[in-house]
A and B are shown apart, each in its own frame.
Chain A
Amino acid sequence: SQWGEENLQALSIQEGEDVTMNCSYKTYTTVVHWYRQDSGRGPALIILIRSNEREKRSGRLRATLDTSSQSSSLSITAAQCEDTAVYFCATDAKAGNYKYVFGAGTRLKVIA
């Protein structure tokens, strides 16, 4: 899982496999953003899940949010080579805060 000052994690999977990346946060949050960052580019928002949602889907992506355990996950179903990227979660540092805190990220490599 990723948070704050943790080192960037790396995952390598075969094309077609499912993968789940986890994110835990330390304080109350109203929203968790999941981003992907391709090499040499800025982060791109892929899913935003709010504290009143337990699950959010977008195509092959599924995000969950468990406010009781202060954790979120991002799952990719049937991963494809183009899913290779670094995936970050980001949350507001405290309720209503606009200062996003980013996790260290997970470097996902999908191998054909």
Chain B
Amino acid sequence: DPKIIQKPKYLVAVTGSEKILICEQYLGHNAMYWYRQSAKKPLEFMFSYSYQKLMDNQTASSRFQPQSSKKNHLDLQITALKPDDSATYFCASSHHRGANSDYTFGSGTRLLVI
């Protein structure tokens, strides 16, 4: 059974629209993260949450808004979508926020903005 569930797996959106990427983890972890992976680029850190509180935001654009309705949920709302937003978005979690924790990644949501 997948420990981190990301939905949907694939998403096609029209420029200017808004989408929400879903992430749920069933590992009992206290920290959750969002990463983005664009073609031929390294994984890029976006956000970290700890106990449902935003701890760090590395995303310059306010169009990206994480939402945590429950401790094991961290959704990502993206507004006014642009073609440059096309990427695979990975959710991850760890027991505690910090470098010494083991990270577990979801399988990603592949977003294509046309």
Query: Residues of B within 8 Å of A, CB-based: how many?
Result: 25
Most buried by B among A4, A48, A50, A91: A48
Residues of A53-103 at the interface with B, using a CB-CB cut-off of 8 Å, are: 88, 90-92, 96-103
A102 in contact with B99 (CB, 8 Å): no
Residues of B33-54 at the interface with A, using a CB-CB cut-off of 8 Å, are: 40-45, 48
* Nearest-neighbor residue (CB-CB) of B103 within chain A: A45
The 8 A CB mask of B73-114 against A (1 = contact, 0 = none) is: 000000000000000001010000111101111111000000
In the assembled complex, A44 has its CB within 8 A of some CB on chain B:
yes
Q: B12 — which chain A residues lie within 8 A by C-beta?
A: none
In the assembled complex, B27 has its CB within 8 A of some CB on chain A:
no
In the assembled complex, A31 has its CB within 8 A of some CB on chain B:
yes
| Interface residue from A44, A97, A104 paired with B105 (Cβ < 8 Å) | A44
For chain A, give the interface size range. Answer: 20 to 34
A31 in contact with B100 (CB, 8 Å): yes
Binding site for B on A (CB under 8 A): 4-5, 7-8, 29-31, 33, 35, 40-45, 48, 50, 88, 90-92, 96-105
| Interface residue from A33, A42, A48, A99 paired with B58 (Cβ < 8 Å) | A99
Main secondary structure of the interface of A (DSSP, over half): loop
Q: A44 — which chain B residues lie within 8 A by C-beta?
A: 105
What's the least CB distance linking B27 to chain A, in Å? Answer: 13
B105 in contact with A92 (CB, 8 Å): no
What's the least CB distance linking B93 to chain A, in Å? Answer: 11
Complex CA–CA separation, A60 to B98 (angstroms): 27
A31 in contact with B99 (CB, 8 Å): yes
| Interface residue from A33, A35, A99, A105 paired with B56 (Cβ < 8 Å) | A99
- Given A4-B42, A42-B107, A101-B45: A48 and B55 within 8 A (CB)? no
What's the least CB distance linking A30 to chain B, in Å? Answer: 5
B56 in contact with A100 (CB, 8 Å): no
